[in-house]
Amino acid sequence: MLTTRFASATDTGNLRPQNEDSAYCDAQFFVVADGMGGHNAGEIASAIACTKAAEATRDGRVGSLEDLARFVTDANAAIFDAATTTTGQHGMGTTITALAIFDGPTPTVGVANVGDSRTYLLRGGQLQQVSVDHSYVQELIVQGYVSKEEARTHPQRNIVTRALGIDRAVNVDTFLINSAPGDRFMLCSDGLVDEIDDATIETIMRTTSESTDCARALVTAAKAAGGRDNITVVVVDLITAPVDTSTSPLVPSVSGDLVGGLVVLALFALLVVVGVWRSARDGYSVVFEDDTASANVVVLNGPPDGVWWFDPSIKEVSPLTRSQLLDAFVADIERVRTFDSLEDARRFVDGIAKAVGSG
Ligand code: MN
pLDDT in tens, 112-125: 999 999 999 999 99
Mean residue pLDDT across the chain: 87
- Cα-to-centroid distance, 216 and ligand 1 (Å): 17
- Cα-to-centroid distance, 35 and ligand 1 (Å): 7
- Cα-to-centroid distance, 192 and ligand 1 (Å): 8
- Cα-to-centroid distance, 167 and ligand 1 (Å): 20
- Cα-to-centroid distance, 188 and ligand 1 (Å): 9
- Cα-to-centroid distance, 158 and ligand 1 (Å): 8
- Tell me the three-class secondary structure of the chain, residue by residue: CEEEEEEEEEECCCCCCCCCEEEEECCCEEEEEEEECCCCHHHHHHHHHHHHHHHHHHCCCCCCHHHHHHHHHHHHHHHHHHHHHCCCCCCCEEEEEEEEEECCCCCEEEEEEECCCEEEEEECCEEEECCCCCEHHHHHHHCCCCCHHHHHCCCCCCCECCCECCCCCCCCEEEEEECCCCCEEEEECHHHHCCCCHHHHHHHHHHCCCHHHHHHHHHHHHHHCCCCCCEEEEEEEEEECCCCHHHCCCCCCCCHHHHHHHHHHHHHHHHHHHHHHHHHCCCEEEEECCCCCCCEEEEEECCCCCECCECCEEEEEEEEEHHHCCHHHHHHHHCCEEECCHHHHHHHHHHHHHHCCCC
- Cα-to-centroid distance, 211 and ligand 1 (Å): 22
Backbone angles phi, psi at 121, to 5 degrees: -130, 130
In whole angstroms, give the CA distance from residue 218 to residue 309.
Answer: 28
- Cα-to-centroid distance, 122 and ligand 1 (Å): 22
- Cα-to-centroid distance, 285 and ligand 1 (Å): 34
- Cα-to-centroid distance, 193 and ligand 1 (Å): 10
pLDDT in tens, 14-61: 999 999 999 999 999 999 999 998 888 999 999 999 999 999 999 999
Smallest CA-to-CA distance from 76 within 56, 54, 90, 96 is with: 96
- Cα-to-centroid distance, 333 and ligand 1 (Å): 28
pLDDT in tens, 123-165: 999 999 999 999 999 999 999 999 999 999 999 999 999 999 9
- Cα-to-centroid distance, 191 and ligand 1 (Å): 5
Determine contact, residues 4/27, Cβ cutoff 8 Å: yes
Determine contact, residues 53/31, Cβ cutoff 8 Å: yes
- Cα-to-centroid distance, 33 and ligand 1 (Å): 9
Residues 6+ apart with CB under 8 A from 2: 101, 103, 107, 179, 181, 238, 239, 240, 241
Segment 183-212 shows an average pLDDT of 98
In whole angstroms, give the CA distance from residue 146 to residue 249.
Answer: 62
Global pTM value = 0.69
pLDDT in tens, 53-91: 999 999 999 999 999 999 999 999 999 999 999 988 999
Confidence band of 352 (pLDDT split at 50, 70, 90): confident
- Cα-to-centroid distance, 133 and ligand 1 (Å): 13
- Cα-to-centroid distance, 228 and ligand 1 (Å): 9
